[in-house]
Amino acid sequence: MFKSRLNQLIESKNSLLCVGLDADPDKIPSVFHQHDSPVVAFNAAIIEATSELAIAYKPNIAFYESRGIRGFKDLEETLLLIPKTCLTIADGKRGDIGNTSQMYAKAFYEHWNFDASTVAPYMGHDSLLPFFEYQEKLTFVLCLTSNNGSADFEEQRLANGKKLYEAVLEKVLAWNKAGNIGIVVGATKPEQLAEIRQKAPEIVILIPGIGAQGGSLEETIRYGTDKNQESAIVVSGRKIIYPDGKFTSIDEFQRAVNERAKATVLEMRQYLKTNL
């Protein structure tokens, strides 16, 4: 089961870090452009520099499908480089009518063999069921996202007085009989993260929004983890994979990435310890 594997990794690595593999060819340091597949070389360097610190990698599918077949090949090669001691999360935010969702779920969980993926709840239970049927995988339903636009729908009140994200949480808790559903909550919404954790003490939460988006790591850990300081995955993408500076070698780039990942994990450990 995903959750027990996750919590074992959190304990053994003393880390909640998930590195976002959002490889943008325009941002990749020039030292990688001499390779046949600059994105694969870039991802390989990041994975090698962070795999002892990270519990998971989350490629956002947009960064790969935006480049067509070449992007998909890069994703396939990247997945082969991720060690078994790390989980893989496909951030695709899928969801459609049942038979179409079945194909999305098959793509992520069978073809690509990801451990987890993200889905949007807008179309309701039947649109998500094909994902939930993969019991050994974990499907993260968007609950309260990290962007300002969450106010447009997710934070709006329904006729029964509840906010939409609260209604999503209630549904997820009712659906989660097999324990293979998680939620996505942005680190930029710490008060709501605390509320959500209180209502869902055991659920796995995927939390993007620290680093480049400015969410507080301390509040994320304090409010987002469960009673054992587990069941939470904290995502950092750009802050770790695009360190400042001009790099004349891949080694130099890897040292900078490792420093950023290490600084994030050391900060996490500080909060994990003080919360005990």
Ligand X SMILES: O=c1ccn([C@@H]2O[C@H](COP(=O)(O)O)[C@@H](O)[C@H]2O)c(=O)[nH]1
Per CB under 6 A, residues contacting ligand X are 20, 22, 60, 91, 145-146, 184, 186, 208-209, 211-213, 235-238
Sign of torsion over alpha carbons 173, 177, 183, 189: positive
Nearest distance in Å: CB 63, ligand X: 8
Task: Output 258-266 pairs: Cβ under 8 A, ≥24 positions apart.
Answer: 258/49, 258/50, 258/53, 261/17, 261/19, 261/49, 261/50, 261/53, 261/54, 261/236, 262/53, 264/17, 264/53, 264/210, 264/211, 264/217, 264/236, 264/239, 264/240, 265/14, 265/15, 265/17, 265/53
Q: Which is nearer to ligand X, 130 or 211 (CB)?
A: 211
CA distance 32 to 27: 11
Is the CB of residue 4 less than 8 Å from the CB of residue 257? Answer: no
Nearest distance in Å: CB 138, ligand X: 15
| Largest distance between two CA atoms of the chain | 59
Q: Which is nearer to ligand X, 7 or 118 (CB)?
A: 118
Nearest distance in Å: CB 139, ligand X: 14
Q: Which is nearer to ligand X, 1 or 266 (CB)?
A: 266
Nearest distance in Å: CB 52, ligand X: 20
Nearest distance in Å: CB 36, ligand X: 25
For the record, the structure tokens of 129 come out as: 């069921």
3-state secondary structure of 243: coil
Q: Is 93 a catalytic residue?
A: yes
Cα distance from N-terminal residue to C-terminal residue, the chain: 26
Which is the catalytic residue, given 58, 93, 137, 189? 93
Q: Which is nearer to ligand X, 156 or 274 (CB)?
A: 156
Q: Which is nearer to ligand X, 91 or 166 (CB)?
A: 91
Is the CB of residue 192 less than 8 Å from the CB of residue 168? Answer: no
Known catalytic residues are 93
